[in-house]
Copies of this chain bind each other. A is one copy, B any other.
């Protein structure tokens, strides 16, 4: 894929954001790109490919946001970016003369997305690649829900490489947790232990303690200082999270 890009756009600077998305895990890919893209310079072209889903079932799309361009299969992997950008235009990429020839049925990253991204990086206008569409695939990220007056229920979106459990709960969902003098609360994942306070950095936790922390992604994480909350709690991706306000 990088060879194809450089053949067309020799001046392009290619940056790998992640090759660690699990195959088929579109939500994981959506999370990673939504947390990274805004830090890149204006005009950056992002290729966001989660395999498979190639072939007849997923048309290639080109999205223009406020400051960035994205090429991706139309499988929802850009959903969280549609949410964040003010101006969104999505085109179905149909201009086959920009594709690599001969084109395989199975490696669209190399044969479709790479050359299209390279021509975009060279300044070819987005309108040249296909018509605008409105029926693109867009899923809603799972949102936390109140269970009763005291309890908010969310889910673990992913486990990072330190074993921190990243939930889908933001400060907007549970503002009490992040105030200056928060009331007593418990964050329960699994049955082995509960977090009862919010730390402001990972090193603040006591050894063996699990605690809440506002992660760099804007979500509530449950973490352990120099340890793995993932292992300590026996919980992982998809685990239920209950935030219970006490008293």
A residues with a Cβ closer than 8 A to B are 1-4, 6-7, 10, 13-15, 17, 23-24, 36-41, 44, 51-58, 104-107, 110-111, 161-162, 200-204, 213-216, 225-226
Contact of A39 among B4, B24, B200 (CB under 8 A): B4
Given contacts A23-B162, A106-B213, A107-B216, is CB(A6)–CB(B201) below 8 Å? no
Contact A105 B3 (CB under 8 A): no
Q: Please give me the residue from chain B that is nearest to A38 by CB atom.
A: B3
Q: Which B-chain residue is minimally distant from A104 (CB atoms)? A: B216
Please indicate the chain B residues that have their CB under 8 angstroms from the CB of A4 in the complex.
Answer: 39
**How distant is A180 from chain B, measured CB to nearest CB, in Å?**
15
Residues of B contacting A203 in the complex (Cβ-Cβ under 8 angstroms): 52-58
Most B Cβ at <10 Å: residue of A44, A54, A203: A203
Find chain B residues with CB under 8 A from A57 CB: 201, 203
Query: Does B7 lie within 8 Å of A216, measured CB to CB?
Result: no
Which residues of chain B are within 8 angstroms of A7 by Cβ–Cβ distance? 39-41
Q: Which residue, A1, A15, A55, A57, has most C-beta atoms of chain B within 10 A?
A: A55
| Shortest beta-carbon distance from A153 to chain B in Å | 24
- Bound: A200/B214 CA distance, A: 46
Take A52-B203, A56-B204, A104-B216 as given contacts and tell me if A6 and B2 are in contact as well, using a CB distance cutoff of 8 Å.
no
Q: Besides the contacts A2-B17, A107-B215, what 10 more A-B pairs have beta carbons closer than 8 Å?
A: A3-B44, A4-B39, A6-B13, A23-B162, A52-B162, A56-B203, A56-B204, A104-B215, A105-B214, A106-B213
Contact residues in B for A52 (Cβ distance below 8 Å): 162, 201-203, 225-226
Contact A6 B106 (CB under 8 A): no
